[in-house]
Structure 1
Amino acid sequence: MRFMDEAKYLLKQNIRDYGMYVALAVIMIIFTVTTGGLFISSRNISNLINQTGYIAVLAVGMTLIIVIRHIDLSVGYLAGFLGAIAAILLTKAGAPVYLTILVVLVLGTLIGLFNGYLVAYVGIPAFVATLAGMLAFRGALLLVTEETGTIIVPNKSFNAIGNGFIPDIAHIPGIHLLTLLIGGLAIVFYIYSEFNVRKNKIKYNFEVISFKMFILKLVLVSSIIAYVTWILSGYNGLSWTVVIVIIVVAIYHVITTKTPLGRYIYAVGGNPEAAKLSGIDVSKITLIVFGSMGLLSALSGILYTARLQSATTTAGTLFELDAIAAAYVGGVSAAGGVGKVTGSIVGALVMASLINGMNLMGVGISYQYIIRGAVLAAAVIFDVKTRNKSR
């Protein structure tokens, strides 16, 4: 009984963190049943995760933007515009892939820093500054694609970023061995890191969950990792898009949880005035976060252009709204100061699963938008209610 009491207590105390995972599990179960198992097939899950990539990258950056109590509406068309720049560099300028990617990432970062400068030092509200950027980049996208409307990218190396899969180390029918090995290493690393964190907490007399609950947590998470890698190994294995998203999430997770910069970001989001009085340069942190958003917008544009193997006049449409929705569904607080980059990825998967599942069921596009809006509203209501209870 004590074990159950502890489980209920942990669920109640960490409802913000666990709620999104429960929602994702429920959505996947519902669509698996209603589609006769088609939703959970290796091919569909692989396509679902790959389609989520460019939004997931944006959601990571948007999470930090919302954490510091701002918003960035320009990221969608910025991603579309920079994707078009990449296509132009590859096709018309004949630039190599590595140089194209580097130029686009640097350009995205500079644009993000400019947005941050307008917000942090000029004092323009982020909503207005980025709305202006949204309109400007929409026009810029139309300008650079006006000759043909669509810029086809024939470069196979570049297109592999959005459509390719990591090579396998053996040819076993129906199984991608390297994906399974990577999944196994991920489980080992996760278990090792969790034991290390628990050991350090005990060493410094911090509160830890019971050993039974700790083992249950390890088993559940390890099972999820094993199941996902098994599903993906049944259809070409891990894609380069997934690898890129994992690297981005890992880097930002370390930055936000293990570095002074991460602590400063959450301090600014929690209380900007208190952060300023404690010696934190709030303007500098704002500049860095917007610069990071520009960088991730550029990466999103690269992923999207590579996936479509072309740049189009509609690229980037509603990307910013999908990223904002993923961040909120993933647990970021509308009041700032709360939110995890790992949560934003789960939020992106929740929204993508909704779209994918409803498409498989043949739900009309009008109802899809209504349902997605209802889910977003529910996420914000959940945030407000849990925040009021914690007070």
Structure 2
Amino acid sequence: MTGTANIRELITRNIRTSGIYLAFIAIIAVFAIWTDGKLLSPGNVTNLVLQYSYILILAIGMVMVIIAGHIDLSVGSVVAFTGAVSAVVVIRHDMPWWVGVLAALGVGSLIGAWQGFWVAFVGIPAFITTLSGMLLFRGLTWVTLDNISLSPFPAEYQNIANGFFNGVLGGNGYDVFTLVVFAIALLGYFYSTYRTRRSRIAYEQPVEAFPLFIVKLVVVSFVVMWFAWQLANARGLPFVLIILAALIIIYSLVTQRTVFGRHVYAIGGNLSAAMLSGVKVKWVNFGVMLNMGILASVAGVVFSSRMNSAQPSAGNMFELDAIAACFIGGAAVTGGVGRVTGAMVGGLIMAVMSNGMSLLGVDQSMVQIVKGLVLLLAVAFDVYNKRRAGAR
């Protein structure tokens, strides 16, 4: 098979995954032009990271839920409830900030286990279980906060979502530490990508031509270091970006390189075959829901830190943004398909559109209309691809 044929096959088999990156670039270019470059200014790039980090954290857990063939409608309420628990511990009872974080994570774990029990062992569909959870945990948020907001958090807690590494290695008008961190991460990406390519060649799997491989690395390097330069010229490296990057790396490895991850894909792709193959379906489903509860509590800590308060209405509609990020990023409605990186790109597409329209002064109602249409088109594209594949 020629190099050209290999490339054509890769594009055909992964058209949606490839297309989402091109769509992301196109959306950035369009809004950069419409906003006269404001979208890509150092300050705005930093704000994008800070304002949408909690949605991206939720999307990491949600994509695993969707791959397994489920859906979780309760994450917005869990964000609110865990943030409320943290606020009560830290603000009302004057405990150290880290005790509040641990309390939120503990409650999130219990919530994930609670919902995992009903889904995995009782057999109630996740849609119904989490719809119940959406109501239950919203009500518990109101009870916990006595239906009022709690603020402010101590400075250490606020720094979780609002703090920066800046000036660690010095710099003349920019933060050298940020550039160094991104450069090291880029070297790690090069090494991982090169190893993956060699492995695919060893197993006689199709790979792109070497010149195209080099071009891809150059483009990725440019984008990553440009992003690092923007952050370095604003306020430095956000703490929350480190948290998000660590979660992306960990969950990418979990979904792609572990037995548990393969079992999640197997259950979503073909439940009957997974059961016949000896997959412990109940425990895998329990683990998926437990994990979602934990990540929702992480998002709850980040959001309450960002807002410097716990609010009864916190997390409203977050579940829909997280679900939309996953589907736009390539997850299949029927399960068995999706990637953490795809969900991140889907979430960033939603973030760029929301932020870009906000900079243009577009009414919030129109923003919701556009986001709804984008989600509909993304799912329609998935259905179209499946029908075309079935026809062949």
Q: Which residue of 2 aligns with 1:16?
A: 16
1:191-202 to 2 correspondences below 5 Å: 191-202=190-201
Distance between the aligned counterparts of 2:78 and 2:93, measured in 1?
21
Distance between the aligned counterparts of 1:151 and 1:191, measured in 2?
45
Q: CA deviation at 1:214?
A: 1.4
1:262-281 to 2 correspondences below 5 Å: 262-281=261-280
Spell out, residue by residue over 1:47-98, the C-alpha distance to the aligned partner (whole angstroms, 9 max, x if none): 0121110000101111111111111111101111100111111112222222
Spell out, residue by residue over 1:131-181, the C-alpha distance to the aligned partner (whole angstroms, 9 max, x if none): 11111111111112226x110033100100011112432332331111100
Q: Is 1:383 the counterpart of 2:377 in the alignment?
A: no
Q: Which residue of 2 aligns with 1:44?
A: 44
Spell out, residue by residue over 1:90-119, the C-alpha distance to the aligned partner (whole angstroms, 9 max, x if none): 112222222221221122012111101101
Spell out, residue by residue over 1:20-49, the C-alpha distance to the aligned partner (whole angstroms, 9 max, x if none): 211211111111111111111010011012
Secondary structure, counterpart of 2:150 in structure 1:
strand
Distance between the aligned counterparts of 1:6 and 1:198, measured in 2?
13
Q: CA deviation at 1:4?
A: 6.6
Q: CA deviation at 1:7?
A: 4.8
Q: Is 1:304 the counterpart of 2:303 in the alignment?
A: yes
1:6-85 to 2 correspondences below 5 Å: 7-85=7-85
1:107-256 to 2 correspondences below 5 Å: 107-146=107-146, 149-256=148-255
Secondary structure, counterpart of 1:366 in structure 2:
helix
Q: Which residue of 2 aligns with 1:317?
A: 316
Distance between the aligned counterparts of 1:387 and 1:42, measured in 2?
40
Query: Do the aligned partners of 2:3 and 2:208 also contact (CA within 8 Å) in 1?
Result: no
Spell out, residue by residue over 1:299-330, the C-alpha distance to the aligned partner (whole angstroms, 9 max, x if none): 00000000000011110100111111111111
Task: Give the AA of the match of 1:318.
Answer: M
Spell out, residue by residue over 1:364-383, the C-alpha distance to the aligned partner (whole angstroms, 9 max, x if none): 11111111100000110111
Q: CA deviation at 1:5?
A: 6.5
Distance between the aligned counterparts of 1:195 and 1:67, measured in 2?
27
Spell out, residue by residue over 1:195-249, the C-alpha distance to the aligned partner (whole angstroms, 9 max, x if none): 1122222333333222112112211222221111111111112211111111111
TM-score using structure 1 length: 0.96
Secondary structure, counterpart of 2:72 in structure 1:
coil
Q: CA deviation at 1:388?
A: 2.2
Q: Which residue of 1 aligns with 2:98?
A: 98
Secondary structure, counterpart of 2:173 in structure 1:
coil
Task: Give the AA of the match of 1:306.
Answer: S
Q: CA deviation at 1:8?
A: 4.8
Distance between the aligned counterparts of 2:34 and 2:9, measured in 1?
33
Secondary structure, counterpart of 1:334 in structure 2:
coil
Q: CA deviation at 1:192?
A: 1.2
Of 125-134 and 169-178, more deviation after overlay is shown by: 169-178
Distance between the aligned counterparts of 1:152 and 1:172, measured in 2?
35
Query: Do the aligned partners of 1:63 and 1:339 also contact (CA within 8 Å) in 2?
Result: yes
Of 287-296 and 152-161, more deviation after overlay is shown by: 152-161
Q: Which residue of 2 aligns with 1:360?
A: 359
Q: How many residues align?
A: 389
Distance 1:345 1:268, change over 3 A: same
Distance between the aligned counterparts of 1:206 and 1:127, measured in 2?
38
Distance between the aligned counterparts of 2:243 and 2:369, measured in 1?
31
Secondary structure, counterpart of 1:312 in structure 2:
coil
Distance 1:383 1:366, change over 3 A: same
TM-score using structure 2 length: 0.96
Distance between the aligned counterparts of 2:61 and 2:153, measured in 1?
30
Query: Do the aligned partners of 2:10 and 2:206 also contact (CA within 8 Å) in 1?
Result: no
Q: What percentage of residue pairs aligned between the two structures are identical? A: 39
Distance between the aligned counterparts of 1:359 and 1:94, measured in 2?
37
CA RMSD, Structure 1 to Structure 2 (Å): 1.5
Q: CA deviation at 1:3?
A: 6.8
Distance between the aligned counterparts of 1:207 and 1:364, measured in 2?
47
Q: CA deviation at 1:124?
A: 1.2
